[in-house]
Amino acid sequence: MLDIKIERTTAPKEKPNEDKLGFGQIFTDHMYIMDYNEGQGWHDPRIVPYAPISLAPSAMVFHYAQEMFEGLKAYHADDGRVLLFRPDRNAQRAGNSCKRLCIPPVPEEDFIEAIKALVGVDRDWIPTRPGTSLYIRPFIIATDEHLGVHPSLSYKFIIILSPSGAYYASGLDPVKIWIEDDYVRAVRGGIGEAKAGGNYAASLKAQEKSDAEGYAQVLWLDGVERKYIEEVGSMNIFFKIAGKVVTPRLNGSILPGVTRASCLDLCRHWGLEVEERRVSVDELVSAARDGSLEECFGSGTAAVISPVGTLRFGDEVMEISGGAIGPLSQRLYDTVTGIQTGKLPDEFGWTVEVK
């Protein structure tokens, strides 16, 4: 049990207009901070007013990117409860990311307790309009003042909160995705399966390219053969091919998404045929040509379920589901958001209440 000191703000900010939240642009009144030093371990947990933090210019995070983050959401249920969605999965994944990046992990129960405490303090910031939620961003940064390349001996674990709407401005309208065959995001043995800021820095150049072509995001191919589908910039990817639900299997360079796992669980529970396997871009092109590529959607905490209406690979433009959301994507969206917001029964025990 953490002994969290709470310092409440004396100048609460005005709450935003829920129609114009966007994603990750507005921050609540408070943040959580906890420090790590070798010898002392994680210590001094506190909730303080949201404000800039001061770090030495030599802090290691600025130079060698020793950093990890997580993303999850809190929802307002109609009956007044505040719900988190599978925070144990985020805590577990955070531990794995820390291991890969030589960061001392925050114990899973402390990770969840810290989130619950901060969301509890800022619960009035959870928006209530359909499609909105409180996005939770925990992260850890290396703070040693040192330019040698080695793991830092001191860190900060911080959590910030952002009332958010849909990740894509288009909401549930299908997005256009660019399949990238030049730049790569990650390779096996690298840090692709960790949730590390560096993976996203590596993605920006290709994102610029897809933006210029009018595409919302990049779909990455594997870094070795440049042949197999991996994931999209901010979400995992699913296809429905000839009646089967297909998604790339986790191979060490793909992020193991919590929403991905939930979609797989739901599809299996519904008795659908599900395949986690390698999916080549050639297979997609053939399936799109012969009409067996029935649906495509992304899954992610921020994006939830995001239908994909167009995939482009070189000169090949694949139109899917006639540019509309497909029935499986809609069913998954309704079910996942229904469970998250307490509208549907939580048969799987996925939600955790913040009291």
Cβ nearer to ligand COI, comparing 154 with 299: 299
Which residues from 87-146 bind ligand COI, rule CB under 6 A? none
Does the footprint of ligand COI cover residue 301 (CB under 6 A)? yes
The set of residues, in sequence order, having a beta carbon less than 8 Å from that of 175 and lying 6+ positions away, is 168, 216, 217, 298, 306, 307, 308, 309, 310
The single residue among 45, 105, 300, 342 that binds ligand COI, judged by CB under 6 A, is: 300
Cβ nearer to ligand COI, comparing 190 with 300: 300
Cβ nearer to ligand COI, comparing 133 with 234: 234
Cβ nearer to ligand COI, comparing 142 with 235: 235
The first and second tokens of residue 10, run together, are 């004396």
Cβ nearer to ligand COI, comparing 215 with 313: 215
Rg (CA), the chain: 20
Does the footprint of ligand COI cover residue 165 (CB under 6 A)? no
Which residues from 64-83 bind ligand COI, rule CB under 6 A? 71
Distance CA 159, CA 16 (A): 20
- Residue 78 beta carbon to ligand COI: minimum distance, rounded to whole angstroms: 24
Distance CA 202, CA 235 (A): 15
The single residue among 234, 262, 310, 337 that binds ligand COI, judged by CB under 6 A, is: 234
Binding mask 25-64 for ligand COI (x = CB under 6 A): ----------------------------------------
The first and second tokens of residue 132, run together, are 């909105």
Q: Are 41 and 92 in contact (CB under 8 A)?
A: no
Residue with token string 């800039």: 52
Distance CA 355, CA 348 (A): 20
Q: Which of 271, 142, 130 is nearest to 198 (CA)?
A: 142
Cβ nearer to ligand COI, comparing 64 with 200: 200
Q: What is the contact surface with ligand COI in residues (CB under 6 A)?
A: 71, 200, 234, 300-302
